[in-house]
Amino acid sequence: MLDFAGKRWWYLSVSFVLFTIAVTSLGVFRLKAGIEFTSGSSFTYEFTEKTVSQEDLRKAMADLGHGEARIQGAGSNTYLIRTNELKGAPAQTDPEVIGPQQPATGEIDTIETGLKERFGALNRKDFSTVSSTVSKEIARNATLAVVAASVFILLYIWWAFRHLPRAYRFGTAAIVAVLHDAFIILGLFALLGETRGTEVDTAFITALLTVIGFSVHDTIVVFDRIRENISHDPYIPFEEAVNASMMETMARSINTSLVVVLTVVAMLLIGGVTIRNFLLVLLVGIISGTYSSIGIASQLLVAWENNDVGRFIRRLRGQGDASGTPEPV
């Protein structure tokens, strides 16, 4: 049987390094918030007459008074444009509408006219605006959703394992693993925001909550097997029970995660740009969550049970173990 728990500090060290890189990335670059959290307007144009580069489009938007516009490629000769909140409703341009068209009253129509004069025919695929009031409400609700999910996870696992000694440790270890997965994703998107202009939106929050649920589900499977092994043999060493539990559940965890990962990769290859960030969060989160249930949550339980941190501190101070006998190196 593989000794996972015996090498727990290797797994925890790898996790700590990844976590540190993610937190550093998040602190240095920051997340680039989408219009749902900052207010503004978002629209997509497909240029059908001329090939338009991103730089040409950026200059055109600046000439039209929107130098703040953020432009991102969204396909062949197609660009997603985000600006400050545009006033007025867009004109009715549906060719199937019978009767007089709605007059051009919105700033988006002024932009569209200017772009047509410079680049020729274009097709506006979508247009949406979020006010500052709505964006603040969305940001507050998203934060509350993540915090509430974490609190309820802790309380549920504590309650589910209440018959085991120190059941709170199971809930705490699961939350630490979830926070690890969340920060890996946040750090990655902070880096992508700096290098590729990737923004976080409500779909990102939805995917993050999905990853949290997946990670906790995988962790609970391992924890439940630990509980069964301890119940069947109350005298089994805790470290041995954890090792046996991870071996018994590993095939199931890897197979389940692999199926989901293959599905997400297939959707990334054939899906549209609008769901790409959502799928990327799922891909990274599922891989990280599978690792964290084995390499973090379970290993933390063993380290906590063996008082590894206390022993390490005493060793640094040259005090040996609690009985006064120097510990072997």
What integer pLDDT is reported at residue 328 of this predicted model? 41
Pairing label, strands 122-130, 40-47: antiparallel
Other Cβ atoms closer than 10 A to 324: 7
Domains of the chain: 5-34+134-315 (1.20.1640.10), 40-130 (3.30.70)
In terms of Cα–Cα distance, which of 29, 73, 74, 43 is closest to 55?
Answer: 73
pLDDT at 128 over 60: yes
Q: Where residue 23 falls among pLDDT bands split at 50, 70, 90?
A: very high
Output the pTM of the full model. Answer: 0.72
Q: Where residue 105 falls among pLDDT bands split at 50, 70, 90?
A: low
Q: Where residue 74 falls among pLDDT bands split at 50, 70, 90?
A: confident
Q: Where residue 167 falls among pLDDT bands split at 50, 70, 90?
A: confident
Please give the distance of CA 12 from its chain centroid, rounded to a whole number.
21
Contact (CB, 8 A) for 125 and 184: no
Q: Across residues 76-92, what is the average pLDDT? A: 77
pLDDT at 111 over 80: yes
What integer pLDDT is reported at residue 98 of this predicted model? 43
Residues 248-267: tens digit of each pLDDT: 888 888 888 899 899 999 98
- Which residue blocks in the chain are alpha helix, DSSP H? 8-29, 35-38, 54-63, 107-119, 132-160, 168-196, 202-232, 238-270, 276-292, 298-305, 308-316
Q: Annotate 167-220 with DSSP letters as a single string.
A: THHHHHHHHHHHHHHHHHHHHHHHHHHHHH---B-HHHHHHHHHHHHHHHHHHH
pLDDT higher for 10 or 100? 10
Contact (CB, 8 A) for 45 and 113: no
